[in-house]
Structure 1
């Protein structure tokens, strides 16, 4: 038997509803018949739920631990881990909550879950040099119009059209009362990691649109137009200053030697 066959069969069997071609192999059937195997499988299942709870702390705080762990157990059955780093586990949980009947009365919950996921992804993202504001200011108008600014690998942004998900998420994370002057309207958030720790701040619709355009590799001029279209009258200068200060943009990989 190849080692990979053994590893794949064992990994699938440890999941609550694991299915793998090796599941019917005599060696695996004999292993699963052992009384201790169920204990081992339950331990793995519990570890996955614990990881999901750690990776979605805001969702858990909003719904309560009992509700969350029941939902997490169903998610683990449907989407077992594929990465040995359990800190990265949970991609797709927001989408799962959208179709989860028990969450139908909490329509903002998937958007809050997306922000929890943004925090994890920002925390785990690769390092990269930040775009320098002084360098950007030295560029000519012609160079700026065609410049393609890439979001920093650790930058994450999200917009909730109907619910103040960003405000709910931020207040829960910071321990602020959830009902303190809360306006029930859509909002957005930006998460970055400029100095080694994840930071977050509100981000207007124009900022979301601008970063979407940058992520699509649009040059600066059409990206700015995209932001203005999303939020007419937006102050693009103030927006750029906010993104630079937050560390949301990445330095170009190759600077122009004639225009350093």
Structure 2
């Protein structure tokens, strides 16, 4: 049977990921195809295990292997760069919480995924303190601070996700004295790799507003509404040091 190319490709992908592909029955019954399919699936599983090391530390290699295989069967890669594989893995873990019993696991996975995104982001210019020389408060208030592509941040209201992620990634035990409180995280990249640090609720709101196109003045007001005791000067200094922003824009 001669199939149109697009139809053949769709059926081939279905067969690779163990979904029904009756149009390719003669092909998929060949032993060589099973070997090829197993190789592809193994590559997907290995990529997920590499991209989510903190998750594997928390659940163990055996459980992670099974979860990765289940995810790969339903969500094949759509990019040849496998470091970009797993965008919805955190949501998958959240939906399967009953099988692992860890309500914080999806948030840890989100931080693993943020790390992958930051690590693989394209290089962009960044705002430097020298760029602000000579600018008035009015000039700055009307400017737009846009985060670079190599930056990710998130507020986790239910769990100390950053502490869980960091300790899992570094293979450290969870101390009994560690408070179980909400945490925010900022991940950014520089020439030395990916860096991470805590970020307060107001800081996360500020970056959300900057990414949404608010002016510096508008974004700062939203941050202070979220967290009235926020030290905005300290926050801005930390974000500048982390090379968070693109050069200033006034449009």
Compute the TM-score of the two structures, normalised by the length of structure 2.
Answer: 0.92
Other-structure match for 2:55: 59
Give the equivalent residue in structure 2 for 1:258: none
Aligned position for 2:28: 32
Map residues 158-177 of structure 1 onto 2, 5 A cutoff.
158-177=154-173
4+ residue segments displaced more than 6 Å: none
Q: Which residue of 1 aligns with 2:107?
A: 111
> CA RMSD for the aligned pairs?
1.9
Count matched residues: 249
2: CA distance, partners of 1:40 / 1:183: 48
Gaps of 5+ in 2: none
Is 1:211 aligned to 2:207, yes or no? yes
> CA, structure 1 residues 37+82, in 2 after alignment: closer, same or farther (shift >3 Å)?
same
1:132 aligns with 2:128: yes
User: Offset at 1:196?
Assistant: 4.7
Per-residue displacement from partner, 1:42-84 (whole Å, max 9, x unpaired)? 2211111111000000000111001111111111122111112
Alignment partners' CA distance in 2, 1:176 and 1:42: 34
Q: Which moved more, 1:187-196 or 1:51-60?
A: 187-196
For 2:83, the equivalent position in structure 1 comes to 87
Q: What TM-score does the superposition give when structure 1 sets the normalisation length?
A: 0.89
Q: Which runs of 5+ in 1 are unaligned?
A: 256-260
Cα drift, residue 150 of structure 1: 0.2
Preserved contact between residue 166 and residue 188 of structure 1 (Cα < 8 Å): yes
Aligned-partner Cα distance in 2 for 1:226–1:243: 17
1:247 and 2:249 correspond: no
